[in-house]
Structure 1
Amino acid sequence: MPGLASNAMIKPFKGAVYSQVWINRNAVDLRTAVCGSIPEEWRKQFSKIRLDQPIQVNRKSRNTNLTDETFQSFPVIGGVSGNHVREIEDMLSSVAVTMPKRGIIIYDIGMSNAKKIFLQSHCNVAVNRIRMDLFGDLVTHIRDYQWKALLVYSAFLKFDGVLFSDASIRYKHSLDELPLVRNGVGYIGMEVRDYSPAGAFTHDGMLEAFGVSRESVATSPTVIGGSHIWFKQGGDVASTVLTHLVACSMRKACIAPEGATLPNCNKTERLSGRYIGCHRFDQSAISVVTEKAFPKGLSNEQCLIEALNFIHVRRRGTGMYPPCIRNSSLSPELV
């Protein structure tokens, strides 16, 4: 397995807080690499997308010759609020152990300065601020998860590709050798069997916004919202899927329709064909978008993997991996 052994002793870095990583042999200042904002022209562009129309993907533009070097340059990105700092430390540690050369960009969606400094003391991590004057209305209600697709898109414009990762994700091993990068289509999702089929976890309001029936998603897989990969060399596939996901995220009636809630989930009824009371917000949206874009099935498009083959999901701090700290003077007591 590439990377550090799980029991490796990691010496603390004695220099300044790290803010650069090497991407495509160039030093990148992660503090300014991605602005984390949604310019007005973006809003106009996405407002024109008709979500209730078929999603047309130009499959002729595919270029699947993605090199290892390019794939390994994709940064891991995620967003975190103050109450998830301990949880995301496990994710950062798992990246440092399994994929030690990857840069990590964490977006601040509500942290104290002390917590930001603490996270930035970890290996290859930079914390970016979100410009509240341009982005603030989309993170007012964090649990609507509008911000996730927006962060992916802003990073996607800057880099050759991105790996999105929630605070709860812990990578079991490196994704660098993932076979699908050789023949994928620019987007790699992870199916979470516990939350399939997608229709059971999708509110009627979202289905109406996308112009699809519950029957059309009654057997489609649920694509996990916590970890997915986007790369540009898949041609128009990734950008088409991602723009529709962003367009939904910028419309509250789509991403968080009235009456949609996350609790009260009766998973025992998930195969009934009915909505079972818990809407998964961004996870539901990405599942519906990919179903529309790939009506013959994601597995047939070679862009879907079984989530639990690559990740653990843990919604708390566990210490599963040794933390990779560069500056020992930035004490964990800060958080």
Structure 2
Amino acid sequence: MRLISSIRKLGYRQKIILYNLGIAQDNLKLLEENSCHLEIRNFNFSNFPPSMTQLKSYRWKSIVIAQVLRDYGSLWYLDSSVIFEKSNVSHVYDLVNCYGKVRKRPPMLPSYSRDIRENREPHENGWDQKIWENNLQECRKSQYLLHGYSGHGILSVTHPEVYKYFPTNPGELKKEKAKMYDAGFVFAVNTRQTMMNIVKWYFLCALEEDCMAPKSAVLGCQFVDDDRFRTYAGCHRYDQSIINLVLANQFWYDRRYYVSQIVDFFHIDRAGTSGNFQDHMKCI
């Protein structure tokens, strides 16, 4: 309800699709009665392997994203912890719309030069227009974009068993430019690149019992000497580990190409917020 109200208060009138994984009936009634342009879809667990019902392995997330991209040209996927703060996000759309406009890209930097760039460029803080303009000129970003940095690299929080399914370059994956970003906040466009190179593997991994959730996987991490990139911390981030690994493998192990680098239009609040959101869930 908080998420829906944050969207509607900014004037967005687009349809919101809510996937029901087991919402209580009284809460469903509140949502239906107080929201506009809200479609509630019941997740059909019977169509998938029994492991899909283990909700905290988050396999369902890749299914939801694949299904909605099948039906629409693009989507924002939002966990309920996301709060929108800005009504105009055209600066994010420009990062993928540039593919229809760019004529000549600058040459791709080699890996060692991008290592240097990662250490020199400031981390995301608001909207850095110089970095944004450079990204538009280069126009090499994924059309499946993540946004919120999780505070560590991919290798440190990805169970080693995963690499049986996704061969990778561990040397590149240990570098700081292979950062992990939240899987719960995505802008994606239905293109062949998105569906065949990214979503397909994300989806298939969810169906394979030991791919997204190896049997010994746990959430709790033990970072040795606060090393958040080069050493495995004994934990696993389930769907988040998989989508970040797929994107890194596709985009040169460099977060610059699979994240928006723009953070001025949202914030994340996982603690929950008390209050009456029912009056703000209608379309303005």
State the Cα deviation string for residues 97-123 of structure 1 (Å, max 9, x = none): 235212111111112221111122223
Tell me by how many angstroms 1:326 deviates: 4.5
**Which residue of the partner structure matches residue 41 of structure 2?**
128
Query: Is the aligned partner of 1:306 residue 2:221?
Result: no
For structure 1, which segment, 237-246 or 311-320, has the greater mean C-alpha deviation from structure 2 after superposition? 311-320
CA contact (8 A) 1:224 1:307 kept: no
**Which residue of the partner structure matches residue 221 of structure 1?**
179
1:205, 1:105 → 2: CA distance? 34
State the Cα deviation string for residues 21-70 of structure 1 (Å, max 9, x = none): xxxxxxxxxxxxxxxxxxxxxxxxxxxxxxxxxxxxxxxxxxxxxxxxxx
More contact order relative to length (CA 8 Å, sep ≥ 6): 2
**Which residue of the partner structure matches residue 148 of structure 1?**
61
State the Cα deviation string for residues 178-235 of structure 1 (Å, max 9, x = none): 231322542222250x433111111111123212254331120212111111112x44
**Which residue of the partner structure matches residue 174 of structure 1?**
87
**Which residue of the partner structure matches residue 295 of structure 1?**
252
Percent identical among aligned pairs is: 19
TM-score (structure 2 length as normaliser): 0.73
1:247, 1:115 → 2: CA distance? 32
Q: Unaligned regions of 5+ residues in structure 2, if any?
A: 99-140
CA contact (8 A) 1:224 1:283 kept: yes
Query: Is the aligned partner of 1:157 residue 2:112?
Result: no
C-alpha RMSD over aligned residues: 2.6
After superposition, the Cα gap between the structure-2 partners of 1:145 and 1:296, relative to the gap in structure 1 and judged at 3 Å, is closer
- Structure 2 SS opposite 1:147: helix
Equivalent position amino acid for 2:259 in 1:
L
- Structure 2 SS opposite 1:139: helix
Q: Return structure 1 stretches of 4+ with deviation > 6 angstroms.
A: none
After superposition, the Cα gap between the structure-2 partners of 1:132 and 1:246, relative to the gap in structure 1 and judged at 3 Å, is closer
- Structure 1 SS opposite 2:53: coil
**Which residue of the partner structure matches residue 317 of structure 1?**
272
TM-score (structure 1 length as normaliser): 0.63
Tell me by how many angstroms 1:147 deviates: 0.3
After superposition, the Cα gap between the structure-2 partners of 1:171 and 1:136, relative to the gap in structure 1 and judged at 3 Å, is farther
- Structure 2 SS opposite 1:306: coil
Equivalent position amino acid for 2:30 in 1:
F
**Which residue of the partner structure matches residue 95 of structure 1?**
7
Equivalent position amino acid for 2:266 in 1:
I
